[in-house]
Structure 1
Amino acid sequence: MRGEAVPPAILPGQSPARRGRGFLAAFLRDDSGNPTLEFTIVFPVIMAMLLAGAELGMIGLRHSTLERALDLTVRDIRLGTGQVMQHDEVKTAICRRAPFIDNCDHSLRLEMVQLDPRNWSGITARPDCIDQSRPVSPVRNFRNRTQPNDMMILRACARITPVFPSTGLGRGVTKDGAGKFSLVAISAFVQEPE
């Protein structure tokens, strides 16, 4: 029968070394444990890819939600309904439109910077994000008292907890002291004249 280990016949007067070789040959011929071995090698790789895919999907969902919320809020600011939105109002409007950002009121930080398009200097490369493992710092830059035709850049940074923080993509992203990573969305607009 194939698949069953048949011990070699022990003949009288056979040396222990020869008997050992016979058992070893029978052991090597036996293939009854192959599926288990393949499963233990392949399963962790497949699960890591599955968890990384789920993590990437959640990151994409949260990031697109943040981008859309920022764009809709910037549209409200740009159209200028007669009122100048301040920091807390802008933050509340973004959080109201971004349901997948957990604890948005405490994890979102905004920067609004006025730039001169004729003398471009850009904004700082590092976004102003909240690190919940450190003491609270004031908002770095938020200026919404602008003149007509001023170019403004609004940058939002949300701190997000990974879905699977110890596997695959969740382990690989750069995190702060509280174990959260940054999602950054940027939008530019020109203040319309009244």
Structure 2
Amino acid sequence: MMGRVITWARTLLRSESATTSVEFVMVYPIFLLALLWSIETCIWMMRATSLERGLDIAIREVRLGSLNSMPTYDELKDIVCDYSGMLGDSCTTDLKLEMQIADPRAYVGLPDDADCVDHSEPIKPAINFTVGQANNLMLVRACARIEPVFPTLDVGNAMKRESDGGVALIAVSTFVQEP
């Protein structure tokens, strides 16, 4: 009886049937994970580039004076959202702008902590949005909150996460207020 079990075990161990399936089961998840990570990263990068482009074009319109006057906070936010195509329909609710005057001789930049929209907290008014006077150097920072495409992959560990799970995209621009 024991001889049959040993013979059966040797036959089973020498058999090469289904070895491809075992290799597939072990290697496929790694390739799938790499594919999903690259898709998440590409979409995140397209959204970040879209925000940068939207902010740059909006600031260019302000700088060149193609608008009748300096836009208000909501008007500038609408202009940025109009030029940022990849941010989606909720751009105006997920975007927050900061603007402050910078002294070129004693430069103090924007604070390191960007103020982004957090849907888990009550709505806070726009902070630090100062419309400058003629010949002032202005710093503008836009912070958009986006949802990850694959939130369970946890690709965004290196990205700034909000308490509600969204990822913060940050873009910065400067311009001089023309007289």
TM-score by length of 2: 0.93
Distance 2:140 2:105 in 1: 19
Write the distance in 2 (CA, Å) between the matches of 1:171 and 1:83: 41
Quote the residue 1:13 is aligned against: none
Distance 1:35 1:174, change over 3 A: farther
Match of 1:23 in 2: 8
Q: Deviations over 1:53-110 (max 9, x none)?
A: 1111111111111100100000111112441111011000011111211210100000
Cα distance in 1 for partners of 2:78, 2:160 equals 27
Name the CA distance, whole Å, in 2 between partners of 1:50 and 1:36: 20
Aligned to 1:56: 41
Larger Rg: 1
- Amino-acid identity (%): 37
Q: How many corresponding residue pairs? A: 177
Q: Could you tell me which of 77, 86, 96 is aligned with 2:72? A: 86
Alpha-carbon distance between aligned partners in 2 of 1:173 and 1:85, rounded to the nearest angstrom: 31
Match of 1:39 among 7, 24, 47: 24
Residue identity opposite 1:107 in structure 2: D
Are residues 1:126 and 2:108 paired? no
Distance 1:147 1:95, change over 3 A: same
Q: Corresponding residue for 1:111?
A: 98
User: Post-superposition, which runs of at least 4 consecutive aligned residues in structure 1 deviate over 3 A?
Assistant: 170-174
TM-score (norm: length of structure 1):
0.86
Gaps of 5+ in 1: 1-15
Which sits farther off after the overlay, 162-171 or 97-106?
Answer: 162-171
